[in-house]
Amino acid sequence: MKFKLDWTFITPILALAVLGATALIQSAVLMVLAAVALALAVFAAVHHAEVVAHRVGEPFGTLVLAIAVTVIEVALIVSVMLSGGPEKAGLPRDTVFAAIMICGCGIVGLCLLIGGWRHHVQDFQLQGAAAALAILCALSVLTLVLPNFTSTVAGPALSTSQLIFVGVISLVLYVTFVFVQTIRHRDYFLPFTPPAAAGAQDEDDAPHAPPPSNGEAWLALGFLMLSLVSVVGLAKLLSPAVEAGVAAAGAPEAVVGVVIAALVLLPEGLAAVRAARLNRLQTSLNLALGSALASIGLTIPTVAVVSIIMGQPIALGLAPKEIVMLALTLLVSVITLGTGRSTVLQGVVHLVIFAAFLFLSIVP
């Protein structure tokens, strides 16, 4: 095994060092360094996840990325919840909803636009997209809409038994999707192999590079875990500054959830866009929709357990405006991804909805 020391190995160690220094010494300079270290640690985590993904292949690779990103997201949510008390009851809802909008409109829209602009028409597996959207519709409505209409306790909260039920069905739906994606109907999520595009040989070299050895994959897995630890610690350290910045800007508190979701999904989005540019739209959709599903299917059960054990209240039901945006996103996604082919038109539609989501988050 050839070991090459680069920034992806140095960054997690430096991030932990910055975390320790900032915890001991409070200064503005160290807080800035902590923010930079947090961003770099997120990119390092996803890089190591990509190495592991390259070793295990598709669709396991996108699953590794989705779970790694969701672990980061859950850690950030739980750390902010526990440090913020009852005032953070809506943070899980805001972050999960933001993740759905970022993945389903922002990342998917950008991939469809860039891929369509570069390759005119792109093909993907209709069965895989339909399966992911079916789970996404059920998960999002059962966890983010239904709590507003239950009567045991006043919405948008749930009773303990209802919270347990929602957590269990979220996990069941996500595990079922993973089973279908990786075992029973794996071929639904395998990308097409398009003919090599003229003039793109330099870009196509990377995807066809030989997979890393077992030793390299295990090393990447170890540094992935180290990166996640540094991300969790730095995020908890910086969460008060993020909240203060949102408050100082006069933005609604829900913007904190958007910031958290955007932070952890940025590297995932870049990987998806790169795949779309290389005419591998199926990989892009696996990344985007898989991250949205993991965000709900893993975050909701985790915060439900934290809420029950720690007595931390959570509010899952969305406001009417957000319900409309969610319904529009699901409806448009079913239409645009319901043919197995895409052009720039679908990309523009998704991006317009995403722009409306961002604008209305700041100016409700």
Question: Rounded to an integer, what distance in angstroms lies between the CA atom of residue 9 and that of residue 219?
Answer: 10
Cβ–Cβ < 8 Å for 127, 362: no
Residue 199 has pLDDT above 50, yes or no: no
Residue at 301: amino acid letter: P
pTM of the model as a whole: 0.82
- Cα–Cα separations (whole angstroms), residue 56 to 53, 110, 206, 334: 5, 27, 16, 30
What is the per-residue DSSP string for 255-308? HHHHHHHHHHHHHHHHHHHHHHHTT-HHHHHHHHHHHHHHHHHHHHHHHHHHHH
Q: What is the pLDDT of residues 248-284, one digit of tens each?
A: 877 787 787 788 788 778 777 888 888 899 888 888 8
Predicted pLDDT of residue 197:
44
Question: Rounded to an integer, what distance in angstroms lies between the CA atom of residue 112 and that of residue 285?
Answer: 9
Q: How confident is the model at residue 100 (pLDDT cuts 50, 70, 90)?
A: very high
Q: What is the pLDDT of residues 64-77, one digit of tens each?
A: 767 777 777 777 77
Domains annotated for the chain, with CATH where assigned, are 7-362 (1.20.1420.30)
